[in-house]
Amino acid sequence: MTAPPTAEQVGERLTVVRGEIADLGVDPHAVTIVAVTKALEVQVVVAAHDAGLIDIGENYAQELVAKAESPEVAERPDVRWHAIGRLQRNKVRLLAPYITLWQAVDRLALGTEIARRSAGARVLVQVNVSGEDQKGGCAPDEAAPLVEELRELGLSVEGLMGVASAGGGATAAAEFARLRGLVDTIGLPICSMGMSGDYREAVAEGATMLRLGTVLVGERPVR
C-alpha cells in the first residue's frame, strides 16, 4: 500500500483544484469541497483536515464511525461528516451521532428513520440523473415530492445530490445540468455534484458542493 498523503500534498492538490474552479469563472470559496476518504486510513482524514478541509465524506457506516471515534479525529471536533453512500435504514442509528449532512437520502423510509434518530437533521435528496440502475437516487420527477415529504418529517432538506455517468464530458454535463435545474426549480441552496473525474463539468453546470476523493487524497486500494 502506498503511504498516505501528507497535509502538504493534500494542500497542493487542493490549490490546483481551486485554481481550476477559478479558471471556470467561479469563486472557489463559494464551492464546498468534501474530501472523500472511504477505504483509506484515518491518517488521510487527519491530512485532509490539516490541509484545511473540514468536510469529510464516507460511504460505509462502520468505517465512518471507526474514524470518527479514533483519537486523532476526536482531537479535531470541527470535522463535519457527510454520509455519501447508499444507506440501509439499519445503519442510521449507528451513524446519527456523527453526521452533519446526510447526502444520499433517496426514499421516504430512509428519511423517516433519519428523522426518528436525528430530529431536524440536514439532508440532501439523491437523484438518479444518469438513469443507471446501479446508481442510487430517486427518479428526477420524484425529487420535488420527496423533498416535500421529508420536510413534513421535520428534516432540513437543503439540496440535491447526484452522481453522473462515468466518463465525464458532455454526457455528465447534461446530467449535471438536469440536477441543477431541479435544484433551482425546487429552490434549494445546495447542489452536490462532481467527483474526481467530472468536477470541472459539475462546476461549469453550477455545483455548490463537490465530493472529491482521488484527486485530493490519492487512489483507493481495490476492495
Ligand X SMILES: *Cc1c(COP(=O)(O)O)cnc(C)c1O
* Residue 219 C-beta: closest distance to ligand X, Å: 8
207 touches 191 (CB < 8 A): yes
Q: Who contacts 187 (Cβ-Cβ below 8 Å, separation ≥6)?
A: none
Q: Which is nearer to ligand X, 107 or 211 (CB)?
A: 211
Q: Which of 9, 196 has the CB closer to ligand X?
A: 196
CB of 98 to ligand X, least distance (A): 17
- Rule CB under 6 A: which residues touch ligand X? 36, 38, 59, 84-85, 163, 195-197, 211-214
- How many CB atoms are closer than 10 A to CB 185? 10
> Bridge partners of 100?
none
Indicate the residue among 159 and 213 with the shorter CB distance to ligand X. Answer: 213
**Distance (Å, whole) CA 33 – CA 133:** 27
Closest residue to ligand X in the complex (CB): 213
CB closer to ligand X out of 49 and 135 = 135
Q: How many helices (H) and strands (E) does the chain have?
A: 10, 8
Angle, CA of 109, 149 and 210, to the nearest 5°: 80
